[in-house]
């Protein structure tokens, strides 16, 4: 079995500090929380772990990123290894490892504050040193939790070696802050509705509005495909000439926690595409995987492994 990764994820690794409460505190208010947990997160790490949990092959997914030399960094590396994510290109920086403080209310909604730390130390020169690993892969996945110039460099290298590039524009950022060429080097842009609205400057409350906003980006940046995640409404694929709305299956009851659900969808989507599943089938399976994730607490801790899933998801 090859040790070369099929999917490389260039992005962030955080430790999530999660507080659960009945309702979010108002400005100036102090409340009593119901519980606390610490787990592994970061959008890049979440997407890598979800894809790896669906694969039966060690190192099918590789993480390209940076952590600190602190305890959190060592624990993050060990967590990747236990989840079969390759860490050969996980570098160490001078800053502390990334952290995220998260509040989750009784309805499963969340508020998140990110301290990037070592994630933002990762520079284009670091990514250039990873070219051998990148060139052997088939898919590269990126987000907005590391330096945008580093992300742009990763996509440029990926496209020069024929990889399919997948960009999750989260946390959302206006177009004026993005490096030239980043979106033009993107094959699949995968935002949620608020992220799509910020990028396009258009409303995205309904499916027709999402289609119009997506096509404005497609025509401007030559993106092939936009895939909009719509929570319990499923996901929407938009190209210049076609649309496809794939509903979400019934969600677990009760809905416990939406933290990491979008990352679960994206990691699953890329995994299924990499295994040759057609787009409609991959979106449907990714909807289902994300649906499972909201039935558990935390991000990676709520992700199902291959053996925990029904046969239809084992590919």
Q: Tokens representing 187? A: 């094959």
Q: What is the pLDDT of residue 274?
A: 98
> What is the mean pLDDT of the segment spanning 226-239?
95
* Rounded Cα–Cα distance for residues 35 and 105 (Å): 11
Q: Is the pLDDT of residue 1 over 50?
A: no
Residue with tokens 């099929």: 6
Q: Is 298 annotated as a binding residue?
A: yes
Whole-number average pLDDT of the chain: 93
11-24 confidence digits (pLDDT tens): 999 998 989 999 99
What's the pTM value of the predicted model, to 2 decimals? 0.91
According to the annotation, is 284 in a ligand binding site?
no
Q: Tell me what the mean pLDDT of segment 171-180 comes to.
A: 88
pLDDT of 127 over the 50 cut:
yes
Confidence band for 175, pLDDT divided at 50, 70 and 90: confident
Taking the C-alpha atoms of residue 11 and residue 123, their distance in angstroms, rounded to an integer, is 11
Query: Would you say residue 118 has pLDDT above 70?
Result: yes
Q: If pLDDT is split at 50, 70 and 90, which confidence band does 248 have?
A: confident
Distance CA 310, CA 212 (A): 36
* Mean pLDDT, residues 206-216: 97
Q: Confirm or deny that 259 is annotated as ligand binding.
A: yes
Tens of pLDDT along 145-158?
999 999 999 999 99
Decide if 307 is catalytic. Answer: no
What is the C-alpha to C-alpha distance for residues 312 and 315, in angstroms, rounded to an integer?
8
pLDDT at position 107: 87
Higher pLDDT, 112 or 119: 119
**At 178, is the pLDDT very low, low, confident or very high (cuts 50, 70, 90)?**
very high
Determine the angle formed by the axes of helices 279-293 and 261-274, rounding to 10 degrees.
Answer: 150
- Mean pLDDT, residues 241-252 taken together: 87
Q: Would strands 235-238 and 243-246 be described as parallel, antiparallel, or unpaired?
A: antiparallel
Q: Of 267 and 57, which is predicted with more confidence?
A: 267
Of the candidates 126, 187, 263, 307, the residue annotated as catalytic is 263
Residue 296 annotated as part of some ligand binding site? yes
Segment 263-280, tens digit of pLDDT: 999 999 999 999 999 999
H/E element, 10? strand 7-10
pLDDT at 200 over 90: yes
pLDDT at residue 259 tops 80: no
Residue 232, pLDDT > 90, answer no
pLDDT at 83 over 50: yes
Instruction: Cite the beta strand spans of the chain per DSSP E.
Output: 7-10, 14-20, 35-41, 61-67, 85-86, 90-92, 98-104, 110-115, 139-142, 164-167, 188-189, 225-229, 235-238, 243-246
């Amino acid at each position: 079995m090859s040790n070369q990764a099929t999917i490389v994820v260039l992005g962030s690794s955080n430790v999530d500090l999660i507080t659960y409460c009945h309702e979010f505190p108002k400005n100036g208010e102090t409340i009593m929380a119901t519980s606390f947990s610490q787990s592994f997160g970061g959008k890049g790490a979440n997407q890598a772990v979800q894809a790896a949990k669906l694969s039966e092959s060690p190192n099918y997914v590789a993480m390209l990123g940076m952590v600190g030399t602190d305890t959190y960094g060592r624990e993050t590396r060990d967590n990747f290894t236990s989840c079969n994510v390759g860490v050969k290109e996980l570098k160490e920086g001078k800053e502390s490892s990334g952290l995220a403080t998260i509040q989750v209310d009784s309805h499963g909604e969340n508020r998140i504050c990110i301290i990037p730390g070592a994630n933002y130390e990762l520079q284009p020169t670091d990514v250039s040193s990873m070219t051998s690993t990148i060139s052997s892969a088939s898919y590269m996945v990126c987000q907005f939790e590391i330096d945008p110039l580093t992300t742009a460099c990763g996509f440029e290298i990926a496209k020069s070696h024929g990889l399919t590039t997948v960009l999750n524009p989260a946390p959302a950022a206006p177009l004026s802050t993005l490096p030239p060429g980043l979106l033009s080097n993107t094959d699949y842009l995968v935002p949620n509705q608020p992220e799509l609205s910020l990028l396009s400057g258009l409303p995205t409350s309904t499916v027709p509005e999402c289609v119009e906003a997506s096509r404005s980006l497609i025509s401007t940046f030559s993106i092939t495909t936009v895939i909009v995640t719509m929570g319990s409404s499923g996901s929407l694929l938009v190209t210049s000439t076609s649309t496809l709305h794939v509903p979400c299956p019934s969600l677990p009851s009760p809905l416990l926690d939406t933290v990491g659900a979008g990352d679960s969808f994206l990691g699953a989507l890329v995994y299924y595409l990499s295994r040759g599943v057609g787009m409609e089938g991959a979106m449907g399976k990714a909807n289902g995987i994300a649906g499972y994730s909201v039935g558990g607490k935390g991000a990676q801790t709520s992700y199902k492994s291959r053996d925990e899933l029904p046969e239809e998801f084992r590919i």
